[in-house]
Structure 1
Amino acid sequence: MLTFYCAPASGVDRVVHQLPKLFNTFLRAHHHLPGSNERMDRMPPHYSLEIVDEVTSTQDLIRDRNPRDPHGVIANRQSAGRGRHGRGWRTAPRAVAVSLGWQMTSPTMGILPLLAGLAARRVVGGALKWPNDVLIDGDKVAGILAERGGDLVIVGMGVNLWWPDPPDGWGAIKGDPPAEGFGVDLATRWIEHLLELIDQDPWPIDDYRAVCVTLGQEITWEPTNSGTAVDIAPDGSLVVETASGREQIHSGEIRNLRSS
């Protein structure tokens, strides 16, 4: 296990050293978060980072650490990774998992899951299916899991880096096995983007709308509802036009049917 403490600096500065084991690289990221003092008080401009080869779950390791300030864990492999609603996460032969946790006194997570998805899209590419699945050519290549226990908030991302024969509906971001350290670099950049997005006020909702392929789609959601997704509300909910008027979906699974 490697642990780094990443402190404020101007811009982003990485120092790369060759190591004989693990990923052959470690990354020490320094970043500065622009924004008001109020938001800086809520999100300190530094984070600590652990890099491990394998773990049961990066989410669970963060929970064990119970950090006050932002603390990240990056792993090449998870033996018990999970998705939303407790479902298992399908993992490619080459993948990376990353989680970031910190104490947050706000009563709700609000738009945090959407910000995590937008950060993922910025480092992975592709498009977003509301709220935060990352798709490339319609296949899921990355997913977000946001959990809370008391004041501890944990946001995780799993990315399929390379998958030569994925199941239907799943994919990966690389056509060939990536170089050593690729996943760690990607995960570190996700943390940086997420922290920067959290610090923005108001949140960049237009950026999210621009990459959300759910908009304009006819969708269904539990139990037997259907309508056309038309907008993202300021609180992050999905605005749907139905036969009886507009509704807002705040959580739950949706299924795309076709473009309107």
Structure 2
Amino acid sequence: MIEDLFDLEQVTSQKSVIHSLDARVKIIVCCAAIVALVAVPYSPVVYTVSAVFFLLFLLLWALSKISPLIYFRRLLLALPFGFMLCGFQIFFKNRYYTDYHSLLELPLGIHIYFESIEFASILLVKFLVCYSFIVLLSSTSSLQDLLEAAGRLKVPPELILALGMMIRYLFVFGIIYRKVTDALKTRLFDPFDHRLPYRYRIVNMGYMMGSLFIRSLEQGERTYASMLCRGYGRDSYIFIKEKPFLRSDLIFLGLCLILIILVPLFCWYDPFSLICRFEVLPSSVQGF
């Protein structure tokens, strides 16, 4: 997983229509899609809205010219958490339903309800689509571009500074981890080699983790000392240069926002039923 950290920035350096967009546009589109999908009430309508949003994601991913294998690899990292979160829902009742129909009765009085399965599937669909847009955002924009875009969107500078330091030190931690694992490989130590005694592997893994955190702590202290020598203080902020939106960025942002806003409205509120309601209004009200 830590090795994938270095591949993350390599993917963001590719050339495509999506990569060339302003990072602010991608942040707004990603957040708008997530908020719009989460705001849709729990009902079968979520399937239709999620399908349209996922088609939008597939179109943007195709325009980014990134291999689908990268998406599936990053999706597999989060699927265990999503399945664990949604899988437990089938055993409990929730407030979105009033009547429940038991499909299966397990020992210890545990029931699996049809409504709970439907709720879990809706939750899983929301999770997959929202996570897909996050993968698209992280795969087409570098971490530094995202920080600068957040600053241009008026995110508090204290938060941007903290995130910037965390992102920078995350790569330092990854480099130290790579050095420690390379040192173990040169000594022919494999923690998954079943020929070695189990206790021996556990002890050496503990030593490795301890050495990793000690080296990281020492590197953090050296980094903080060098920052103080360069004038870092409580009033220090990251300088972010102003950058105007391009016409192509605004057109792309407008089209995506129109789609993201109208799809949930048309799926939740049937426009034809609204027209019929207006036609049967009393003449006095229509005249008004």
Q: Which TM-score band (shorter chain)?
A: under 0.3
Structure possessing the higher relative contact order (Cα contacts under 8 Å, 6 or more residues apart):
2
**Structure ranking higher in strand proportion:** 1
Q: TM-score, length-normalised on structure 2?
A: 0.20
**Structure ranking higher in helix proportion:** 2
Greater Rg over alpha carbons, structure: 2
Q: TM-score, length-normalised on structure 1?
A: 0.21
